[in-house]
């Protein structure tokens, strides 16, 4: 009974971590469209009535604004402003840094060593894990996911000698965990030998 309860809870959590960001993005897009409908209404009246011009123009305007902001963030001034906002505003939101690191890993941006795939020595076994952060004394905080739901699991603080980074993309490690360990042979082959 406990296994079924844990399985259902892990599956719900894993599904929520996928569905919730998509749902929030759609809600934000719709809210942005509502905010600009008043701006596009005069132009929409010039188009045929059979066409849902207000909605189309509102969506286009929101997408153009997103595009312009995306371009601005790529400039030196935009990167500086974004990093200041992340530290002063978003950094105060609990869990923001962790979610940011996770999404960067999923997108293939390996700039940070957050969520770095690894094997952790727990008891007499090598366990798939992710390095979350390093400590000044050489220990590491690692997240050991449960199978087959990789976004639920346990957190350990282990001596650095018991954690072995793996030179594989984040997505490959997640896929192996999601497939009940299938593909672990490739992960072991990519393990850094001390």
pLDDT digits (tens, 9 = 90+) for 82-140: 778 777 777 666 666 666 666 665 555 555 556 788 888 888 888 888 888 888 898 88
DSSP conformational letter for 74: T
For the domain made up of 116-189, the CATH class stated in words is mainly beta
Instruction: Tell me which residue has tokens 């305007």.
Output: 61
First to last CA, the chain: 41
pTM of the model: 0.49
Angle made by CA atoms 133, 134, 135, in degrees to the nearest 5: 125
Task: Check: CB of residue 151 under 8 Å from CB of residue 99.
Answer: no
Residue 86: the pLDDT is: 72
Residue 12: the pLDDT is: 73
Residue 111: the pLDDT is: 53
Q: Where are the domains of the chain?
A: 2-92, 116-189
Burial class, 129, CB count within 10 angstroms (exposed 0-12 / middle 13-18 / buried 19+): buried
Please check the confidence at residue 175 and state whether its pLDDT lies above 80. Answer: no
């Amino acid at each position: 009974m406990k296994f079924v309860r844990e399985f259902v809870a892990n599956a719900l959590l894993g599904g929520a971590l996928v569905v919730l960001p998509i749902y929030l993005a759609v809600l934000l897009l719709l809210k942005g469209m509502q905010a600009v409908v008043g701006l596009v209404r005069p132009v929409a009246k010039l188009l045929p009535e059979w066409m849902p011009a207000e909605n189309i123009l509102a969506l286009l305007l929101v997408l153009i604004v997103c595009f312009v902001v995306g371009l601005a963030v790529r400039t030196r001034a935009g990167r500086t402003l974004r990093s200041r906002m992340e530290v002063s505003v978003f950094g105060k939101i609990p869990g923001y840094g962790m979610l940011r690191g996770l999404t960067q890993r999923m997108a293939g941006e390996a700039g940070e060593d957050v969520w770095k795939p690894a094997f952790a020595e727990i008891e007499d076994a090598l366990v798939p894990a992710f390095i979350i952060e390093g400590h000044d004394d050489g220990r590491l905080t690692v997240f050991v996911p449960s199978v087959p739901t990789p976004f639920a699991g346990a957190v350990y603080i282990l001596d650095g000698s018991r954690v072995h980074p793996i030179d594989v993309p984040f997505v490959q490690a997640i896929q192996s965990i999601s497939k009940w360990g299938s593909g672990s042979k490739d992960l072991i082959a990519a393990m850094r030998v001390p």
